[in-house]
Structure 1
Amino acid sequence: MYELYKNYRWNKFIIVVPSIAIREGIYKSLQITEEHFLNIYGHKIRSFIYDSKQLHKIDSFASDPGINVMIINSQAFNSRGKDARRIYEEQDSFRSRRPIDIIAQTHPIFIIDEPQSVEGKKTKEALELFNPLFTLRYSATHKEDYNKIYRLDALDAYNNKIVKKIKVKGISVKGTTGTNEYIYFEGIDLKDKNKPVAKIEFEVRQKNGIKRVSRNVNLDYNLYEKSGGMEQYKGYRVSEINGYKNTLSFTNGVTLYAGEVQGDISEEYLRRIQIRETIKSHFERERVLYNRGIKVLSLFFIDEVAKYRKYNENGDIVDGEYGKVFKEEYINSLNEYITLFDDPYTRYLKKINVEDTHNGYFSIDKTGRMKDSKAKGKEKISDDESAYDLIMRDKERLLSLDEPTRFVFSHSALREGWDNPNVFQICTLKHSDSTMRKRQEVGRGLRLCINQEGVRIDGETPGVNVHDINILTVIASESYENFAKQLQSEIAETLSERPRKVDEEFFLNNLVKNSNDEELLLNKILAKKLYHFFIKSNYIDTDDYLTEDYYKDLETNNIQLPEEFQEFKQGILQLVSKIYSSNITELVGDGRKENITEMKLNENYKKREFKELWNKINIKTSYYVDFNSEELIKNSVIALDKDLRISDLTYHIKIGEMENILSKNELENGESFKIRESEMNKEYTTLKTTIKYDIVGQLVNGTKLIRSDIVQILKKINPNTFYMFRKNPEEFILKASRIINQQKASMIIEHITYNPIGEVFGSTIFTDSTLKGTLGKDAIAVKRHIYDYVKYDSELERKFAEELDNSSEVCVYAKLPRGFFIPTPVGNYNPDWAIVFNENGIKHIYFIAETKGMLNSFEIRTDDIESAKIHCAKEHFKKISNETVRYEAIGNYEMLMEKVMR
């Protein structure tokens, strides 16, 4: 809207929404962002919600010269009610005018949110009466396709990291055989790699009767003895705790998977387990994010207010069933997370009272009492304005760490009102039904979170992997497999049509672009080369579907395309991101698979040798670049004369004729014509154009050099080189800009200088780590690392970590966290490994290593940007350590040992 006003002076907008929840959310968003846009554009939007009782606002909307936005829900003008008719009737309070006529005179631009829910036949007819200039429609599931100008579906949003990653904690009930040997297997904790612990809940006979208790159990734990001799637990002695498979086995042959419940379980107890798991997930996420200044919220959706809060005979509010359970489970879990240390997070937990940390948001009746919201329509959404007003009013307050409310209970019919970015856990305490879709269940928590300064934690946040921080955990009342399968199916329904296989046909005839917007057409030869590269790299399987290896290397920016495609890497990866994965497994992870829930520092971290290395490398620096313009001009002239090539205009003549038509299918498939001749011709004449090009100005824009330097370059290049401009001015400007920028980049790197800025990285970057892992999948147990486990991003890293760990030459090592980075002109750079060697025969005791794939047995694989970062890192470490710390990019352990010995 700001841009349309800036470019065309269009200033009247009407946003049409399907529900009050969305209406209130949009109005709140406009309020929250107005200061941000004021700083950019110098003025604010004047927005209001249409109210048939406040028609004076329409006068202001029509007459005000600035940007005006009216937000209206479709029921306000397409239903038969008295209030809805007022917009079409002459009103005494509106100087005997019809509101619709005043609005129509402004020719507003319509913005329709969720048109599939809004644009019924009656609404379409009513919308025409507003006389809109044009209409923009936003939806993930359009019923009608108009002129589509932009698409961002669930897979694109996930790949671009603009939504949270979803994890599901499922609870599955294992079939009973008429017995009642109740066991709930919560999961395995591998904090101590030598003693894996399984957490289970089972029944114990006590003086006052049978009670269910939670216990951490080790090998040989005997449930029969610990239960007080209850007969159903005979033979239940723990025989194996398998961290790789996430299973718990007993001597009687029974094996449970994490999240499974065996024995009889009531509806009431299933809800207790859901509440417990939500609280546990909350503490795990909060422990990591508190020190980053990020408030963590958990959201419970229920179907009856009385299950959370109710009124006694005196009219006082008392806890309902869920309120009581929450308090009991919160206090039990809290004791596990409060440590003996006086750290900031422990102090934060201790100061919050259990009564203050949960709250309910419900509809209010005329007497001020909470009531159940009435759900309307097939989506079962409430239109209760009082409830949404309460939710929106408290939205920003809930984001503050000073506000003790961290757990929120609300009616499931109000779910559309909950669009809070810091919701990290969602738990629905009700039966799943056909009207409650999984996408609706998770949809309220997908926005990226913000910190205490109001800064969104996204891809531009330094030292952060977006999906390490932004994870939404759904605590389901069914098994992970069932929930994930249905959710993935629903997501698949919303995805636009996508190719499924990476084969030659997929690449053929696609245009990809580089950073300078130059295009490369993937012809048959190039498509074949790319296809074979994907096969050779194990990025596709025998059926041409993308493999796990591809996604791992993509995540770690470890995909090294053949040299001729390197310049177009981003364009090619963007093309491959359009592939549809039938499982969409990257979007929905199993919340129980990560059995390494916390990376705790061990005794290696306390070693003198590691402290000495850390004190040498934790120094922060800044850089500056100083180079000679004359040298840049000279290098650019040489490079342009040598490398600038402008493609000739070519035309391809194909001659074909119609064959005998054998079937209707041939016509429908376009197979009735056959090519008989084909020839390629070049056009050597220069382009005749009436367009006047400011070649100097265009090159200044493309290179950010001053005009005088560009003039000197153009004067000094060979006349034949300059003549190419006449063949294709646009291509000349693009390619010349790229070549000059390459020279500029190489000079920046050559002339870069680092200086300490008097600050250091704190050791808290090791304790603030968001690392979790799954043993055997992306983590291995180790003995020389500063944690008991190493979480790896690729097979290369796994193998390297194993070799470091088995090496007698290595004293201690660490995989450096993302919070440790070096500023460079081509982006922040996070080195991989910090290693301290034993002194026996080793020349370089302190070593920083970057692991890269190998082109061959002698040469590592890097592109221009990676090479630049590696060069900058060398300069940085030389400066801060007086060359006592060596930095190198290496391809394997053998190469590392070569470097440290000489």
Structure 2
Amino acid sequence: MELILERELAHQQKAVDTLVSAFEGVGITKPLLAYENPTFDNKDLRLIHNIMEIQNNIRGDYRGRRDEGEYLNLDVKMETGTGKTYVYTQTIYEMHKQYGFNKFIIAVPSLAIKAGTKQFISDSYVKHHFSDACGYNCDIELGLLESAKQRKKGFLAMPSPIRDFVTGSCQNANKIYVLLVNMHLLTNGNMLTRSDYDYLVEGFYRPFDALKATKSIVIIDEPHRFARDQKAYKAIAEELQPQMIIRFGATFPEVSEGRGRNKVTYKDLNNLVYELSACDSFNQNLIKGVAKEHFEPLSQKEEKVKLTTVVSKTSATFHFKKRDVDTKTFTLSSGDSLSIIDPVFEGITISAIGKNFIELTNGQVKFMGEEFNTDIYSSSYQEQMVKLAIQRHFETERQNFSGRQFKIKTLVLFFIDDIASYRESDDGKMPYLKEMFERLLLERLNSLIGELPDSENEYREYLKASAANISACHAGYFSQDNNDSDEAIAQEVDEILHNKKGLISLYNEDGTYNTRRFLFSKWTLKEGWDNPNVFTIAKLRSSGSENSKLQEVGRGLRLPVDENGNRISNEEFKLNYIVDFTEADFAQKLVDEINGELPITLVLNTDDLDKVAKARDVDPDDLFTELLLKKYINRNYEIRSENRDAFFAEYPEFTSGVNSNKVTDNNKNKSQQIKIRKAVYPELKELWETINQKYYLFYESDLEYEITQALHDILRKNDVFGNITVYSQRDEMTTDGKKMCLQEVSGVSYSLKKPLAYHEFIKRINSQTSIPITVIHDAMCKLAAEKTVLPEHINDYSAANIIRSFTDWRIQETQTRFRYARSTQPVNGTALTYKDGSPREMIKQGTIGTMFVEGTPSEKYLYDKIAFDSPLEKDNILMTGTGIDEVVVYGKIPKSSISIPTIVGENYSPDFMYVVKKSDGTKELNIVVETKLVENKSTLRGIENAKIKCAEAFFKQLTIDGYMVSFHTQLSNKKVKQIIEEVINT
């Protein structure tokens, strides 16, 4: 298969045209010597004028020019995946065609980028594209500068790529000489600096001097790796002394000046002539979108342990990770308890340590690099990530294979920590990750083969070929492979690194199916490696969380090519990006990074002004005048930086980037503090202290036998024992044409085997039902005598089923067979008061509501801010303060602050409390309200209904005990004013 390049793509052609236009009308001097480039004066006024004209289309804070010695610096900023290599290759051709330049040096930061650049420029399909489709009547002669091999006896010759580059004649109009060099060769060793070569090259013994004499143009790829204060950049500027440096990159270095409060950090951009931002790239569908997905943790504690290193038979090192908390490291030896890491591991110790694994006293084996939840009995979290990646792959592959006219070979990348988990060791022991992957892949293949209809018979045959040879479906590349002599590994590496066309072909040269599409690496495949047909990346490794998120997804952003080599640009594609729960905010960070590139000081364009004016039904001129008078903009339509926040708050339609209303984080709001109004609390004091009085719940004595029988019946139900299910959360990046946003879409669910120790199983049922352990054990023994219960079904899921079924029984059978009795214990500190009964200063916002309403609430309200959990609660807070004169004081009851025991085994706390008086002021009434966002009581779940019945009984008992409280349930079709009026008129 030959790849087919598209010519004159707008975003690429504009970059080339802009670069070349900088030299329009500039004096170009023909070379005096055959090996020299034509020359120009970088102080030429026409050149400076051209650059200034070009920069009129560049955002204000990215404009500017600094003198950098005797060379000209031009910058091109293009996002990963949009074709930088193509652009600078075409620029080379165009600069030669229009101005005669034919000596170019390309500097890259790594061997991977070097290999990718060489492959692109040298490939026959690229040469044909530029000569035939683009009409350039010349060829690039590429020289690849590589590390010197061990010197043999005899003469020391200057490296041939340097000799050929320097001696190539600029008078040969059909040749362009390009030298490709990586950073390491510019800064290390003496290949370019030594002067003891036995042969001259154009009169030079020293390579750097020979290269300098060519007056070359240097192209720097990935400029963030070539900061100006680094040795590599200094070698280019001081040793090569080119006429011009053109930097192409998605990311540029940052420069800081000053100290302390005077410190300023900015992008190191110099003569930026073209910018294609990440936001524009996504908005214009020039690259794939991104759909991040992670599994929610099996434990709500959101913790997991990773076995990072093993010293054979000696010690093992673990990382203990929590979301949003620094990772802790523990080193344990054989015989040590895992409870050192977390108390949940009490009773589990390391029984043995092998070469790359440990054995635990509960029989489990954990391999180096493996992650597991703090619930040690859970299935591997990593296994579920692999399973999810396989599922997402086949969803995409099936569409790419059967759902279009021309098929797309679909690839997956797995990034892992431990090479030993994938590569077989010398002792022949099967790596656990490879073994797990092949097992899960075969299971999925067999399942899918059986599901396909006859209309997808060709795809079925492709899957059958995959299942027949699982090992052929995947391959790995790791840095150590470069020194591996194994022939099979060498073939894998060559296919991944160098044979892009082969990797994305559906067929091998002999006509058989090419099923290799799952690739494993240790983050080695980064800048410089790309394959347009990567549709899924599963990040099974831990990464530096401060890495650029765009760099991380960059390996999969390019638009795909079909089986004929055509780039598909008229569809919207998504990259599936799978992470663990510690990076649940990955998508948000990616959106923030993309939108963070948007300019701080913006210029309004007339199109946007017209759109907003139309939406607001005003004249555009009047809107402009309004913005000008409010000092939001100046006469040049530029947004005033000092009023920027106020401007976007009042006119959100102009927002560029992520709209704050589109992406919210309720967890952050929960930590805010809200003030308790001490002036109004005394009116609530008696009611508050009364409903906080501790009460006990008592059942009728004859229920004991019925409980035993009920448990007996529950255990014998067919659907009680089973396995647990886990769910993933999937977030897709979307755009409204201006800014990037997030949209949550449906994830997946998997059934897991998650057994519990028998004693733990019984304890969990006991703790949530209060059924005595002896009663539960006796019931389980009787069950075992009647039928077999699989050990794997003694798990969380089964325990939850038993607890739920017993709760349902208890709700049904005990609703009228219980009573409340007041405790003699005094009321101590509460959510609103200190131990002495005085009101607290503040309360956490999350305890009274997760959402805010701007503004100040009524003076009758207990708090100084309005926080709520539902629209019904918001209406209650706003309407009560302004439309019900009889209310003396009211407030939201903090969550879980009133512990009313209930028959469902959970405590209960209502939502609102009111103190009201009749219109003549003769009678004070106390009202407690529970809000339910449903239309009628029949919609309430059994548990909720039972809790409300318990609350009714509880407040009835308060009245019997001498303190009258009226309890009401408010449904969505009833306003709180109606409830208060009904109580007043009773």
Higher Rg: 2
Q: TM-score range by the shorter chain?
A: 0.3 to 0.5
State the TM-score, normalizing by the size of structure 2: 0.40
